[in-house]
Amino acid sequence: MTLFDLSGRVALVTGGNGGIGLGIARGLAAHGAGVMVAGRDPAKNAEAVARLRQLGARAHAVEADLAQEAGCEAIVARASETFGRLDILVNNAGTNIRKQPQDYTLEEWRTVIDTNLTSAFLCSRAAYRHMRDVGGGKIIMIGSMTSLFGLPFAPAYSASKGGIVQLAKALASAWAADNIQVNAILPGWIDTELTRRGRAQIQGLHERVEARTPAGRWGLPDDLAGAAVFLAARASDFITGTALPVDGGYAAQG
């Protein structure tokens, strides 16, 4: 096996039916992994599977609400039953509710925290046994620039993305002895459904991001594939508990 070859490996990508998750799923599939994508929308799931199969990938989808414990347990079980093993988990499913902190309800807070942070814990917990049984595994958390900075209109989102980096460190420390590496990717501003909604809501956001990003553009879902393949592959076997910005330099510029 070469450093970046994922042949024979099986990946579960939460929120893999669109946006960043699908960009990552495409990258993993192109390097040989079988891929299970998980999301709530059956039409998006079917479309994603069709696109992954066009790449020649072994691909399936599972419908689940990952804000629920049962949903997290079910997708891990399904991936492992369908492919006979589970090597890679990408905790990518996420959402945002944009409001000032003083206007946030507890229900809104819980929706964002459950979807972005608690689901990552629950899916990782469920995946642990399967990875240990095959001699190791890779867990990739999807953080954000809000893992580093706070956004005034996204208190729960910022808290969830800060938490996910610390969760990666805790799991990395706990499971290193089982040869499971846990790392986070921190995407910059990427053009997806999520941020299209954000740009419709927050005036001037598109231009502000473009002006502040040294690369001079918004990212695309496929920009995340390289880092994900690296963190899913043998190439990163001695790397665990880290958080890697993939942001066109956004976080580097003061």
Residue 104 falls in the annotated catalytic set: no
Q: Which is nearer to ligand NDP, 1 or 215 (CB)?
A: 215
Q: Residue 10, Cβ neighbours under 10 Å: how many? A: 24
CB of 238: closest distance to ligand NDP in angstroms? 26
Q: Residue 189, Cβ neighbours under 10 Å: how many? A: 23
Query: Strands of 88-91's sheet, edge to edge?
Result: 59-63, 34-39, 10-14, 88-91, 137-142, 180-187, 243-246
Set 104, 128, 157, 250: catalytic member: 157
CB of 194: closest distance to ligand NDP in angstroms? 3
CB of 204: closest distance to ligand NDP in angstroms? 16
- In the block, tokens 């990717």 appear at 185
Q: Which residues bind ligand NDP (CB under 6 A)?
A: 15, 17-21, 39-41, 44, 64-67, 92-95, 115-116, 142, 144, 187, 189-190, 192-195
Helix or strand holding residue 207 (H, E): helix 205-212
Residue 93 to residue 70: CA distance in whole angstroms: 15
Query: For residue 14, what are the β-bridge partners?
Result: 38
Q: Which is nearer to ligand NDP, 8 or 149 (CB)?
A: 149
Q: Which is nearer to ligand NDP, 42 or 101 (CB)?
A: 42
CA distance to 81, 88, 157, 188, 240, per residue, from 146 (Å): 35, 24, 8, 9, 21
CB of 220: closest distance to ligand NDP in angstroms? 10
Q: Which is nearer to ligand NDP, 62 or 86 (CB)?
A: 62
Number of separate helices (H) and strands (E) present in the chain: 9, 7
Q: Annotated catalytic sites, by residue?
A: 157
